[in-house]
Each structure stands twice: as C-alpha cells, then as structure tokens.
Amino acid sequence: MKTRKPSKQAFHITIFLCNIRSAQNAGALMRTADAIGIHEVVFGGYTPGPEDRFGRARRAFIKASLGAENNVSWRHTKDCATALKTLQKIGAYLVAVEQSARAVDYKEIKLPKRHIVIILGNEVAGLPKHVLKLADAVAQIPMQGKKESLNVSVAAGIVLYRWFDH
C-alpha cells in the first residue's frame, strides 16, 4: 500500500473497483481519485493496479494515472465480497454505482458523514449480484440517448464530483 498527503475530505472515502478489466480505466479512476481527494482505492478481484504480480510498474495503468498512484493510498484484494463485508463491519456505508431495479438517480443519494465506499464494477457485466446485494444504496446515472451506460471511469467522475467536490 502507498500513502498520500492528507485529503481535503472530512471523512474517509474509498473507491472500490470490482473486476475492472482495463488498466487504462483503472489508471483513469486513480487519477480522478487524486483530483477529488479520495483517501483510498481498492483494486478488487482481477482489477489491474499500478503494479503487476511481480511488483513491476504496469505501463498502461501508469500512462493513464499520470503518477496519481503515488498520491492516493491503494491496495489489492482478491475477493470483492469478503473485503466489502469487512468494510461494512467496521461501519462503512457502501454505495454501488450500477443499473439495477433498486437503483435511484445519483443526484438523489444522500450520503452519511462517515466512511463511504463507492463500488464500481466491470465495464461489460457490471457488479456481480452477490456484491450488489451488499450495497446500502445503489446509484445510477440517468441516460438520455440510445446507449444504456457510460465508460466506468466517466461514470465515476460524474458521481464523485457531484458527491465530494465541496
């Protein structure tokens, strides 16, 4: 895990990436995390982080993150559900960004002033159902056009700036 300068956020905020497949998307999300003052990024499942399994820099990630991994704490966990359950047990409020029957417009979400975990899922399949069930709230971005979703890093940027840019 890497450490960072103190965040401007008053309470702990974690971005949890569950099975993101693209190193470019993961790197872009790390860069957004740095820009908004997020405390920690968790690379869950097979999500590529800044380093490969041998501890070498992952070029595609680094190209997209522009060094943000040096400013934001990060870690990797293999099992998304187990890690999220652990965070919930210590009092974290879990918010999934996903399209689902229980999702509400992200602009309507009222976040508590405590540790918040924003969960983002795979670019094609989204979040697994067993992970989605763990969420205290599910937020979605209303779509106006014919496409039903945005790129995961774009969607994250939209909700994160709405919720945390104070």
Q: Is the pLDDT of residue 73 over 60?
A: yes
Q: What is the mean pLDDT of residues 93-117?
A: 94
C-alpha span between 76 and 9 (Å, rounded) = 22
Q: Is the pLDDT of residue 7 over 70?
A: no
Q: Note every long-range contact of 68-72, with CB atoms under 8 Å and residues 24 or more positions apart, other chains counting.
A: 68/27, 68/30, 68/31, 68/33, 68/34, 68/35, 69/2, 69/30, 70/2, 70/4, 71/4, 71/5, 71/34, 72/2, 72/4, 72/30, 72/33, 72/34, 72/38, 72/39, 72/40, 72/41
| Helices assigned H by DSSP within the chain | 23-36, 59-65, 80-89, 129-132, 152-164
Neighbours of 141 (CB within 10 A): 17
User: On the CB side of 136, how many CA atoms lie within 13 Å of its CA?
Assistant: 18
What pTM was computed for the model? 0.91
Is 28 domain-assigned? yes
Residue 93 carries which side chain, given as an amino acid letter?
Answer: Y
pLDDT the model gives residue 122: 87
Is 82 domain-assigned? yes
Q: Which two tokens stand for residue 13?
A: 């905020």
Q: What is the mean pLDDT of the chain?
A: 90
Domain hosting residue 141, numbered range: 13-164
Is 2 domain-assigned? no
Question: Quick one: which of 70, 65, 140, 130 has its CA closest to 100?
Answer: 140
Is 8 domain-assigned? no
Is 41 domain-assigned? yes
Q: Is the pLDDT of residue 149 over 80?
A: no
Is 98 domain-assigned? yes
Q: Is the pLDDT of residue 110 over 80?
A: yes
Q: What is the mean pLDDT of residues 73-95?
A: 96
Is 134 domain-assigned? yes
Domains of the chain: total: 1
Neighbours of 125 (CB within 10 A): 9
CATH, residue 60: 3.40.1280.10
Is 1 domain-assigned? no
Q: Let me know: does 6 contact 35? Beta carbons within 8 Å.
A: no
Q: Is the pLDDT of residue 132 over 60?
A: yes
pLDDT the model gives residue 1: 45
pLDDT the model gives residue 165: 77
Read off the pLDDT band of 3 (50, 70, 90).
very low
* Greatest C-alpha distance within the chain: 43
pLDDT the model gives residue 166: 59
